[in-house]
């Protein structure tokens, strides 16, 4: 069995001052005999602790109140076990906490203060604040713009807040990929084991308590031993509604290639988005992006996106090393930000 690791692009863009990226560390550890899920969690931890990455962990873009709330999930194919945390505050390594939920409890998902207390009991450092000067400054700019445009009604502020986030993406103040920011990473081990992890700070400036797809098994992450694994980044509500990661893995179970399975999930998501006018641009297309990353038991990989382009890529690491590959796009990239 030829081992392989696949991840969202940030899995091969950040090193947190070290020599390895997420996919490089996960591949090295896995091929040295470390359990595949432990290797994947060690890989995404690099990204969670890198303060220059604003979509996960330390320096993740916060919720509307300026608080970083993290979601994460991990799954171990051979054990048929998963663990997750949601709305976790103060602990940047959310994937590692999710891994302990898998290992140490009979449960699958812990949330809020309960997840934080569980992390503390497991010996994780609980910080008072995960903001960096950069992420705090971006939140203050977002808040200034929302305060200037929105009434006090929380529902209206939510609508205006998302529109301001899109504006800041168009202006380049934040990476468009980080408005809905996440890292997902899946691995096929030398022994054929399939494992994965997804971790995120979620939608930038989200309604406090909002939980996306990342900690929900079958939505932001899924794996089935002997079949494949899939993870997602982007607007979590879309993949929650469709249980897209499960859908992709189930298609691979029926023999569909990872790319075709992932593109079909995007087509379904694109169609469902038309039910919400606020989520459409002037062309009637989704005004957000979603990407899927799929890996089958034969080691075939794919990365697909609603909107592609030169910077829309995914990471892969094999025995030949790590590289970024362009995602296959479903919709012309020029159609995303159309007023």
Return the H-helix or E-strand segment holding 219: none
pLDDT tops 70 at residue 338: no
Conformation bin of residue 17: beta by default, left when phi > 0, alpha when psi is -120 to 50 = left
Residues 6+ apart with CB under 8 A from 94: 48, 56, 57, 70, 71, 72, 85, 88, 199
Which stretches does DSSP call E strand in 93-239? 109-111, 180-188, 194-203, 221-224, 228-234
Q: Decide: 215 and 208 in contact? Cβ < 8 Å.
A: no
DSSP 51: T
Q: How far apart are CA 314 and CA 267, in angstroms?
A: 19
Q: Can you state the angle between helices 133-149 and 154-170, rounded to 10 degrees? A: 120
Given 21, 45, 182, 199, the catalytic residue:
182
Residue 182 annotated among the catalytic residues of the structure: yes
Q: How far apart are CA 315 and CA 279, in angstroms?
A: 28
Q: How would DSSP label each residue in 243-296?
A: THHHHHHHHHHTT--HHHHHHHHHHHHHHHHTT-GGGB-TTSSBSS-EEEEEEE
Contacts of 167-170 spanning 24+ positions with Cβ under 8 A: 168/138, 168/141, 168/142, 169/337, 170/337
108-131 tens-digit pLDDT = 999 999 999 999 999 999 999 999
Domains of the chain: 4-335 (3.60.20.30)
The reported pLDDT for the residue numbered 287 is: 85
As given in the structure block, the two tokens for residue 101 are: 């939920």
Q: How many CB atoms lie within 10 A of CB 153?
A: 10
Mean of the per-residue pLDDT values of the chain: 94
pLDDT tops 70 at residue 334: no
6-41 tens-digit pLDDT = 999 999 999 999 999 999 999 999 999 999 999 999
For the CA atoms of the chain, what is the radius of gyration? Answer: 18
Residue 337 confidence class, pLDDT cut points 50, 70, 90: low
The reported pLDDT for the residue numbered 74 is: 98
Q: How many residues does the chain have?
A: 339
Least confident of 49-53, 123-127, 154-158, 243-247: 154-158
DSSP 84: E
Q: Decide: 63 and 136 in contact? Cβ < 8 Å.
A: no
Can you tell me the mean pLDDT for 182-186?
97
pTM: 0.95
């Amino acid at each position: 069995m030829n081992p392989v690791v696949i991840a969202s692009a940030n899995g091969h863009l950040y090193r947190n001052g070290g020599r390895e990226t997420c996919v490089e560390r996960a591949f090295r550890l896995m091929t040295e005999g470390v359990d595949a899920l432990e290797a994947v969690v060690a890989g995404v931890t690099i990204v969670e602790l890198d303060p220059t990455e604003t979509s996960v962990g330390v320096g993740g873009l916060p919720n509307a109140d300026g608080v970083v709330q993290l979601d994460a999930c991990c799954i171990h194919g051979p054990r048929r076990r998963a663990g997750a945390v949601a709305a976790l505050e103060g602990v940047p390594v959310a994937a590692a906490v999710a891994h302990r939920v898998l290992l140490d409890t009979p449960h699958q998902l812990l949330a809020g203060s309960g997840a934080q207390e569980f992390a503390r009991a497991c010996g994780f450092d609980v910080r008072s604040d995960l903001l960096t000067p950069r992420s705090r400054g971006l939140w203050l700019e977002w808040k200034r713009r929302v305060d200037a445009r929105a009434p006090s009604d929380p529902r209206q502020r939510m609508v205006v807040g998302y529109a301001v986030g899109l504006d800041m993406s168009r202006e380049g103040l934040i990476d468009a990929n980080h408005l809905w920011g996440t890292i997902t990473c899946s691995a096929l081990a030398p022994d054929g084991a399939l494992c994965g992890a997804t971790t995120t700070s979620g939608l930038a400036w989200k309604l406090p308590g909002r939980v996306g797809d990342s900690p929900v098994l079958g939505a932001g992450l899924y794996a089935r031993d002997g079949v494949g694994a899939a993870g997602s980044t982007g607007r979590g509500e879309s993949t929650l509604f469709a249980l897209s990661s499960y859908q992709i893995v189930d298609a691979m179970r029926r023999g569909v290639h990872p790319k075709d399975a992932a593109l079909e999930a995007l087509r379904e998501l694109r169609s469902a988005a038309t039910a919400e006018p606020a989520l459409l641009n002037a062309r009637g297309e989704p005004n957000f992006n979603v990407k899927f990353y799929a890996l089958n038991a034969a080691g075939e990989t794919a990365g697909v996106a609603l909107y592609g382009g030169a910077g829309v890529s995914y990471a892969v690491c094999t025995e030949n090393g790590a590289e970024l590959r362009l995602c296959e796009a479903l919709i012309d990239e020029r159609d995303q930000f159309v007023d």
